């Protein structure tokens, strides 16, 4: 699955100036999502999804040494298998 749109990740880095550790967690998770869109610990958000066209999922990931988890929302388009990152935050 291609990670098609990662512009929100760049905006997150510019906006929130996350730690290197948080950025590593995000990169690692997104690399795995590129292989399996349903990757644990992501969960589907049915009210934001349009089955069978696309599914929106949210992942909450711990970041070592930080109080707040990293949260990533993304859309998986079934026809093309593309993955678009919708939002990222660890605030």
Tell me how many domains the chain contains.
Answer: 1
> Strand, coil or helix: what is 62?
coil
Whole-prediction pTM: 0.91
Closest by CA to 55, choosing from 39, 69, 71, is: 39
In terms of residue numbers, what domain contains 32? Answer: 3-89
Closest by CA to 2, choosing from 84, 88, 73, is: 84
The tens-digit pLDDT sequence of the chain (91 residues) is 567 888 999 999 999 999 999 999 999 999 888 778 888 899 999 999 999 999 999 999 999 999 999 999 999 999 988 899 999 999 8
Q: What is the CATH number of the domain that holds 79?
A: 3.30.2310
């Amino acid at each position: 699955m291609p990670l098609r749109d990662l512009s929100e990740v760049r905006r997150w880095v510019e906006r929130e100036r996350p730690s290197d550790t948080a950025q590593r967690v995000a990169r690692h998770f997104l690399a795995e999502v590129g292989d399996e869109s349903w990757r644990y610990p992501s969960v589907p958000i049915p009210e934001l999804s349009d089955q069978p066209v696309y599914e929106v999922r949210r992942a909450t990931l711990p970041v070592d040494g930080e109080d707040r988890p990293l949260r990533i929302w993304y859309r998986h388009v079934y026809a093309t298998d593309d993955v678009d990152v919708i939002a990222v935050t660890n605030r």
